[in-house]
Structure 1
């Protein structure tokens, strides 16, 4: 007999694991399917703003992560640079041992009454009452919902994590540099690791260095120009396998308003929902917000016990699920629209190489852009409780 799961979450990234933990906290199990043989830790680290810490506190792992990462700003806002590996391992550690199924690559999704049947590459199948796509920018679930593929900005990013045997000596702050059409940032995670990124619009010749990590490092160093030596030392101290190269893509924000974020008992979250450029460091943060809101909506639907197992009760249950996922989509689509739009606008301004725009950016727009970023980070997704 074919196995039927209550909730299946596709993707063991930040959105998927955080959603599973949030559901677990509320007494519901979500089975997480991951196509890779283990947790994927590409990306190394990310800036974790106030809104993300509120979400992490809601699911119960905020304090343990704070102890491992330095605070970068003072005042009412909270900013730290969180290592992706630590976050994923912390989330996975909160789940029962049978909650994650690795090497489960979905090849197709089909209707099966009120259920969804998943077909896997190894020939096996699985049915689920709720399907949540947290499978990133190339989401198979988003494709099933009819959402288009994220589009390229033409910009690329190199990211790296440098580890030092001794203290690196950086201040606990975010360093940002601008060049001619380039932007780079350097931020300590703790006293011995520094996360960095470099973004630019490459020429066809420069794209060729993607296949050669040594040339990539050499290229980044050549573009840092008159940067302080301690900044250059961070790139020089980065191991070749400690760097990644990726195009910057986003989902056109208007698609969140008229596209299918949810349909019946299927929805998407995280990068499968609202992929955005990293210019306001809100991709992972908003994925954590999604997890809390989605778990809250689903828990409300599951909390209503059916009086029986007949056709009418089954129909009522799936109607509650449909309403819950629609509620999630309606609550989150404007937040996603706002973040995608803001990130794209800020990225375009900050990476400008025109003399007039550069002058405006440096002399007049900097305070406005900083205020806009902080405003987007001043968001509370709420607690894990239902009315």
Structure 2
């Protein structure tokens, strides 16, 4: 594609900001255009697995984020009555994959990323669209991006504008886009003083719940349920959670008692079922949900966006190489996430009994049996290697049913 001196990033979320920082470190002049009035993300928490943390190592941020790890005890998977199906210590995943899993508020990660960019590099309240994707073979035809203040030109455009990406639709107008995944999610981050609990995820009939601590002392809880698309509570979403989960085990009742209606976020989940033919066209590259939105059942949406960003910064002058590196991997992970969703959102009573008994039996044989399900995901290494001096890192590990290599902090925002 020739020399890239100027890049525009459309979208100031995790994938867009990571790409901006990585390109900035490569000497590229970067401008981030975020349509919202601030970079403060709509959402709750995100779980970063060792693969994403290694990506953050490349931009000098990995250990800062590892230091925010909160959970250092046991965790696991439960039934609505409170029975443990499997339990695991934090060390098992860290030992297998060379590092911890870290749960933190999305705003914390965004703040850390934005702090590594020049202040003038980020423009908020700046809706943007691609006017011309440009021609990488023609130095006289850069990409052109439309903004409220006029057009901008760039050697590279990074489209990180989310699951309902307008850039993706413009580049690939015949692609069907995202579809409803069959379930909706709720997320809560609140203080919960005086309540002790083991980090857990609970599987019920077409419903799940998870409760986990954050480093700052707050609690992150999430839920998901199989419901028709577009449904909303007739009163408020806290009341809906009480109807669905009010009789489940502690500390779920304590979380619901402490939460206010305004503390509860709800979003239907969508994902891309048909892979794109490429993650680039012209001088434009897609990252994160814009390229490969997936269900949150592996907790990999944000993690894969970070991988995309780091890989793109490695191949920023060769976009076909970026597609070749990312499309097969993300397609396989997205398909695995769909399969996991079918398992833990199961509604058939007989199937649920078989599932739970199998989980309990396999857990007795050793957590490594389940951790193998995360092989090929958490053990990813960035192209060109990392900049970190030690592999294990510092801090503990937050385990969300970690035996199963899956987490649910991801979100599907409009």
The answer as to whether partners of 1:17 and 1:91 remain within 8 angstroms in 2 is yes
Structure 1 residue 229: deviation in Å?
Answer: 2.8
Q: Report Cα offsets for 1:146-202 as digits up to 9, x if no partner.
A: 0432111121111111223x354234x3x1112221111111122621111111122
- TM-score of the two chains, using structure 2 as the length reference: 0.78
For residue 170 of structure 1, what is the aligned residue in structure 2?
Answer: 197
Alignment check: 8 A CA contact 2:104 2:215 kept:
no
Higher relative contact order structure (alpha carbons within 8 Å, sequence separation ≥ 6): 2
State which of 245, 250, 255 in structure 1 corresponds to 2:275: 255
Residue 16 (structure 1) aligned with residue 16 (structure 2) = yes
Q: Distance in 2 between matches of 1:201 and 1:30?
A: 41
**Superposition deviation, residue 222 in structure 1:** 2.4
1:181 equivalent in structure 2: 206
Pair 1:383–1:228, CA change in 2 (3 A): farther
State which drifts further: 47-56 or 61-70: 61-70
Deviations 1:104-139 (A, max 9, x none): 11255225652122222x352111111110010111
Query: Equivalent residue for 1:321?
Result: none
> Do the aligned partners of residues 59 and 384 (structure 1) sit closer, same or farther apart at CA in structure 2, a change above 3 Å counting?
farther
- The answer (yes or no) to whether the contact 1:9–1:134 under 8 Å persists in 2 is yes
Residue 161 of structure 2: aligned partner: 135
- Residues 1:157 and 2:211 are matched in the alignment: no
Q: Is 1:79 aligned with 2:107?
A: no
Tell whether the 8 Å contact from 2:182 to 2:228 is kept in structure 1 after alignment. Answer: no
Q: CA deviation at 1:44?
A: 1.1
Match of 2:121 among 84, 88, 99: 99
Aligned to 1:343: 337
1:186–1:195 CA contact under 8 A, matched in 2: yes
1:144 maps onto 2:170 in alignment: yes
Residue in 2 that maps onto 1:218:
239
| Residue in structure 1 matching 2:111, options 78, 89, 105 | 89
- 1:268-307 to 2 correspondence within 5 Å? 268-298=286-316, 301=317
Q: Distance in 2 between matches of 1:63 and 1:128?
A: 32
Contact 2:69 2:101 in 1 (8 A): no
Other structure's SS at 1:190 match: coil
Q: Which residue number in structure 1 is paired with residue 348 of structure 2? A: 354
Deviation, 1:234, is 1.8
As a proportion of its length, which structure holds more helix?
1
Q: Superposition RMSD on alpha carbons, in Å?
A: 2.4
Shift of 1:67: 2.4
2:205, 2:349 within 8 Å by CA — same for their partners in 1? no
The aligned residue for residue 221 of structure 2 is 196
Q: Partner of 1:207 in structure 2?
A: 231
1:228 aligns with 2:222: no
Q: Is the 8 A contact 2:5 2:28 kept in 1?
A: no
| TM-aligned CA distance change 1:16 to 1:194, over 3 Å | same
Give 1:52 deviation, angstroms.
1.4
Could you tell me which residue of structure 1 aligns to residue 81 of structure 2? Answer: none
Change in 2 beyond 3 A, CA 1:80/1:167: farther
TM-score, normalised with respect to structure 1: 0.83
Matched with 2:408 is none
Q: In the TM superposition, what is the alpha-carbon distance from 1:364 to its structure 2 partner?
A: 1.8
Distance 1:62 1:151 in 2: 33
Tell me the distance in 2 between the aligned counterparts of 1:69 and 1:255: 34
Q: Distance in 2 between matches of 1:185 and 1:297?
A: 38
Unaligned runs of 5+ in 1: 302-323
What pairs up with 1:316-331 in 2 under 5 angstroms? Answer: 324-331=318-325
* Counterpart position of 1:309: none
Verify the 8 A CA contact 2:68 2:102 in the aligned structure 1.
no
CA contact (8 A) 1:136 1:271 kept: yes
Displaced runs of 4+ in structure 1, greater than 6 A?
none
